[in-house]
């Protein structure tokens, strides 16, 4: 199953408490909560390029499944991570105490970020 495509955020749960826990400033949280971000994913075998555009903020990460890479977090901090694939439709990464699980089901991507017992869930549809 290929992740390649453009996806628009449809809904999200727990955005504000999660972003506060990450340390994002309140003004950024308020600006970001109602923006329908666009995620563009290009998959070439085990190589991925992911670009997430939220208003004027663009987050760009590239990685190869199973290899250490540098990833930019929502806060702008760069961290080392290894992204693993579970089955043919799930990407899992651990970024400095944050667990990211991205699951593709047909034209829907569900991204769940967990930090301790706090979870943030994003649901995006292919456009």
Please name each of the domains of the chain with its CATH number: 5-126 (2.40.128.20)
pLDDT digits (tens, 9 = 90+) for 6-57: 999 999 999 999 999 988 889 888 888 888 899 999 999 999 999 999 888 8
The pTM (predicted TM-score) of the whole model is 0.90
Residues 6+ apart with CB under 8 A from 34: none
Write the pLDDT tens digit of every residue in 59-118: 999 999 999 999 998 778 899 999 999 999 999 999 888 999 999 999 999 999 999 999
Contacts with 38 (C-beta within 8 Å, 6 or more apart), sequence order: 6, 7, 8, 9, 52, 53, 127
């Amino acid at each position: 199953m290929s992740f390649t495509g453009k996806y628009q955020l449809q809904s999200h749960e727990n955005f504000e408490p999660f972003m506060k826990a990450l340390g994002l400033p309140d003004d950024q949280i308020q600006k970001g909560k109602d923006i329908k971000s666009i995620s563009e994913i290009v998959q070439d075998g085990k190589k991925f390029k992911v670009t997430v555009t939220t208003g004027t903020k663009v987050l760009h990460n590239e990685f190869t499944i199973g290899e250490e890479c540098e990833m930019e977090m929502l806060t702008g901090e760069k961290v080392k991570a290894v992204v693993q694939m579970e089955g043919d439709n799930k990407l899992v990464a651990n970024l400095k105490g944050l667990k990211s699980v991205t699951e593709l089901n047909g034209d829907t991507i569900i991204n769940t970020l967990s930090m301790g017992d706090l979870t943030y869930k994003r649901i995006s549809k292919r456009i």
